Amino acid sequence: MAAFDAGVTLGTGYPGTPSTEILETFEKLGGRAQWSPNEKVALEVGIGVAFAGARALVTMKHVGLNVAADPLFTVAYTRLDGALVVVSADDPGMASSQNEQDNRRYALAAGVPMLEPSDSQEAYEFTLRAIEISERWQVPVLLRMTTRVCHSKTIVRFDRSGAAAISPPHPPHFEHDFPSRVMIPAYARPAHLRLRKTLAEIAVWNDTEGQNELIAGSPSLGIIASGVAFQYVREAAPQASVLKLGMTYPLPVERMRAFATSVDRCIVIEEGDPYLVEGARTAGIAVEGKPESFRFGELNTSRVRRILDGDISPEPKRVPGKPPALCPGCPHRSVYTALKNLNCIVPGDIGCYSLGVLPPFEAMDTLVCMGAAIGVGLGLRHSLPPEEAKRVVSVIGDSTFVHSGMTGLVEMIYNPPESGHVVLILDNGTTAMTGMQEHPGTGRTLAHASTGKVVFEDLARSLGVRNVHVIDPTQYPEKFQELVQSCLDRPEISVVIARRDCLLATRSIREYERCNEQPTN
């Protein structure tokens, strides 16, 4: 909504819980949004938008920023003409992720100003502020969200004409400016100096007029908090004085110092890593942090009460819920049945098919990051004894393959293992896990309109893979198993594409195709 109100020219991103809904909503409101093959490309497109003087919003989940880290660190040195806001949706507690990294570290490491909203209202306001900060200081801004900010709904009041309003975007235009945008060493050295100077200015601004809020309360207990942790603090300790930080890089250290000296006990309540604690202590501010056990998982009101009480007794364990499972009739089911029957060693990847690790299949052996199935599989093939090596099959989904499997495929062609290798692309025609988003392999845009399509079998053949097979694993389970077996038996490289639409997406896919076939006038 904020992105729309601010006249964001283009939203880009790659789907990932809990960030996916941002671009989908922006598009429904009438904004222009598109899925990129991965977060790195999404950010690069966003950089181009900002170099053109327009406004860009780039969304991703926390691990997505690892992929986009390369452009992030260097775009920080450049001078933007427009706005570039990067949304990092972190997942403390790992509701749907492979790790719980704290991306506030990226702001510090890359030198990118960061805002942390604590509810939907602030998600709206801070997005507008992030655009203003980005344009005022010509730097990218990180908008760091977490699961409980992304996947909660709280009331948002719009004030489009008042203080919250944002000036309209400038018309896009390109100015040559080599030293500011061409990061060869000669230009990058002064650019780094310029960045640090800008950050120092922003730090002063944050101290005096940044998005920080003081809630006056008892002087006996003072709490410094940011993001959703602020909400838990207000509920757990309504009497306390609270300094709520909106911009957490660069930190408003003088405000923090003044606050800490104004109270008897000053404690920092933050989710994840001790980022604010370390920042305060580096600046010589004496603050109390949370015990190490609260670094893990999400915070909540009860856990904040425990931190304040210094209670480190074992926390009550929640009764485990029913784990997710592959849907009945899911095409991945027949794939894993075959792989189990063939006693394969299966480096896997990220998507619904990750569930192949759970009973009844227990047929996926590794999961590291997007695209790792292929590289890990090749490493296993290179080092295992021949009898084991020939049982290795890399399993990767369609969207994940586009995201970062293609370079793995090139590696397989360039450095083939002696025993050959088999890459199995599970093509269910959608990015199923995150909620049926399109990707370059579906041939439809974020808004489901017809567009260019990457055809996996053509791609694999054009790269030089000679054994390329396409098969429907649900319709022909025996044939599928025989095919995988025959590929494993050959000391050659093969790509098998198991193609059948995700059961949950079939109906929508048919509907999109029908709409796209109709003439538009």
Residues that bind other proteins (CB under 8 A): 17-18, 95-97, 119, 147-148, 151-155, 228, 231-232, 234-235, 238, 300-302, 316, 318-327, 352, 355, 433-435
Report in angstroms how near the CB of residue 152 gets to other proteins at its nearest. 4
Report in angstroms how near the CB of residue 148 gets to other proteins at its nearest. 6
d(CA 256, CA 244): 10
162 or 323, CB closer to other proteins? 323
91 or 135, CB closer to other proteins? 91
Q: Report the length, in residues, of the chain.
A: 521
Inter-CA distances, 425 with 335, 380, 397, Å: 10, 18, 5
Residue 477, C-beta contacts closer than 8 angstroms, at least 6 positions apart: 334, 337, 338
Report in angstroms how near the CB of residue 432 gets to other proteins at its nearest. 9
Q: Per residue, what are the HEC states of 294-361?
A: HHCCCCCHHHHHHHHHCCCCCCCCCCCCCCCCCCCCCHHHHHHHHHHHCCCECECCCCHHHHHHCCCC
Report in angstroms how near the CB of residue 61 gets to other proteins at its nearest. 9
| Strand-pair partners of 494 | 422, 467
65 or 203, CB closer to other proteins? 65
148 or 381, CB closer to other proteins? 148
125 or 135, CB closer to other proteins? 125
Report in angstroms how near the CB of residue 301 gets to other proteins at its nearest. 4
Report in angstroms how near the CB of residue 298 gets to other proteins at its nearest. 9
96 or 262, CB closer to other proteins? 96
Report in angstroms how near the CB of residue 2 gets to other proteins at its nearest. 19
DSSP assigned state of 141: E
d(CA 459, CA 450): 20
52 or 228, CB closer to other proteins? 228
Inter-CA distances, 16 with 98, 214, 351, Å: 12, 34, 10
Q: Please report, as a single letter, which amino acid is at residue 112.
A: V
Report in angstroms how near the CB of residue 216 gets to other proteins at its nearest. 15
Q: Are 273 and 104 in contact (CB under 8 A)?
A: yes
Q: Are 499 and 441 in contact (CB under 8 A)?
A: no
Provide the token pair at 112: 């990118």
Strands 240-245 and 213-215: antiparallel
Report in angstroms how near the CB of residue 234 gets to other proteins at its nearest. 4
Report in angstroms how near the CB of residue 106 gets to other proteins at its nearest. 22
330 or 425, CB closer to other proteins? 330
DSSP string, 465-497: -SEEEEE-TTT-HHHHHHHHHHHHHSSSEEEEE
Report in angstroms how near the CB of residue 405 gets to other proteins at its nearest. 21
143 or 236, CB closer to other proteins? 236
Short-list 485, 478, 497, CA closest to 396: 497
Residue 4, C-beta contacts closer than 8 angstroms, at least 6 positions apart: 26, 29, 30, 31
326 or 392, CB closer to other proteins? 326
d(CA 43, CA 11): 10
d(CA 259, CA 367): 45
169 or 435, CB closer to other proteins? 435
Report in angstroms how near the CB of residue 254 gets to other proteins at its nearest. 27
| Strand-pair partners of 224 | 243, 268
Report in angstroms how near the CB of residue 435 gets to other proteins at its nearest. 7
Inter-CA distances, 378 with 220, 228, 390, 415, Å: 60, 42, 11, 9
156 or 342, CB closer to other proteins? 156
From its phi and psi, is residue 436 left (phi > 0), alpha (psi between -120 and 50) or beta?
left
352 or 369, CB closer to other proteins? 352
Q: Using alpha carbons only, what angle is made at residue 168 by residues 1 and 47, rounded to the nearest 5 degrees? A: 75
Short-list 417, 505, 494, 403, CA closest to 457: 494
Other beta carbons less than 10 A from residue 15's beta carbon: 26
